[in-house]
Amino acid sequence: MKKLIPFVILFALCAILLKEVYFTNKAELPSALVGQPVPAFVLYDVKRPGIKFTEKTLANGKNVTLLNVWATWCSACAAEHNMLLKIAKDYRIPIYSIDYKDDRDAAVKWLQTAGDPFVLTGNDDKGNTGIDLGVYGTPETFIISKKGNIVYRHVGMIDQQSWDEILYPLIKHLNGAT
Amino acid sequence: MKFWMVIFLVIAIPCYAASDLHPFSNPIEEQRYQSLIQEVRCVVCQGQSIAESNAPLANDLRDKIAFYIKDGKPDAEIKSYLVKRYGEFILYKPRVTGATLFLWFFPILAVFFSLSLIAKQLIKKTNT
């Protein structure tokens, strides 16, 4: 019986290896900021440049919000746009966004033609706020708690399945329902 | 002969392109820059360091690193800046902290453990 131990260890290591190689999305990074407050930033709304948008905007204490990072050059962002409209209108979750390394005029035109699901859209044309958030692949969506802490980061477009299975339950939980 | 010299010179040009974009006032800073950008993983093109990658984020991070070196920030602080935003994974050599202790020491411990098992077996065999 004792002779089997090395084989058990080997089997366990192989199982871990198999899981990491075939069942892990290795390209996806967990956010280093989960559990921390949204890093300080100052951006101006793309549509109304006099309106300021900072991390304090997301810490209103009243509702859980989403922070979506997108750009007009990002095709996956265009693909998830209708889902964001649905989240804003049907599920009534406030979505703030950051227009990352983008052309402001193109962004405004896009929001006018495709619809605007966002409460505010900060103009991050230099990409500094994106770097402070650890953005590496748009679209990215952060779930922000009422106090302004980053609870979760979703990389890639949001579809109905990821919304139903991961994001919406988490938001409902944070809002106080169970 | 001249033909090959031209070819080699042309091939050599891109190797200097990266340092030309961030002229440093002293060679120590240049050296730190070259060394740091090879230690930082490009999280967009994950097979490359940011020295090799042309992804927009890699370009932005190289700019940031050059800026902070010129601003007088030490290497440790620049690494902390990156890890704070992207996690330990962004460094090819993750720093030795409580979380990464297992990563660093497991291989050598595993080898040591296996060798001691083999040694035990050999001793048993020679004693019978």
Please say if the pLDDT value at position B19 is more than 60.
no
Label residue B21 exposed, middle or buried (CB < 10 Å: 0-12, 13-18, 19+).
exposed
| Strand-pair partners of B46 | none
- Measure CA A136 to chain center: 11
Helices marked H in chain B: 2-21, 27-39, 56-70, 75-86, 101-127
pTM for this model (two decimals) = 0.80
Is the Cβ pair A132, B56 closer than 8 Å? no
Distance CA A67, CA B27 (A): 42
**pLDDT tens digit sequence for A26-56:** 667 888 999 999 999 999 999 999 999 999 9
Contact yes or no for B86 and A134 at CB 8 A: yes
Of the CA atoms within 13 Å of residue A2, those in its CB half-sphere come to: 1
Contacts of A131 in chain B (CB under 8 A): 57, 60-61, 64, 85
- In A, minimum Cα distance to B46 occurs at A27
Residue type, A177: A
- pLDDT tens figures, B94-116: 887 777 788 888 889 989 988 99
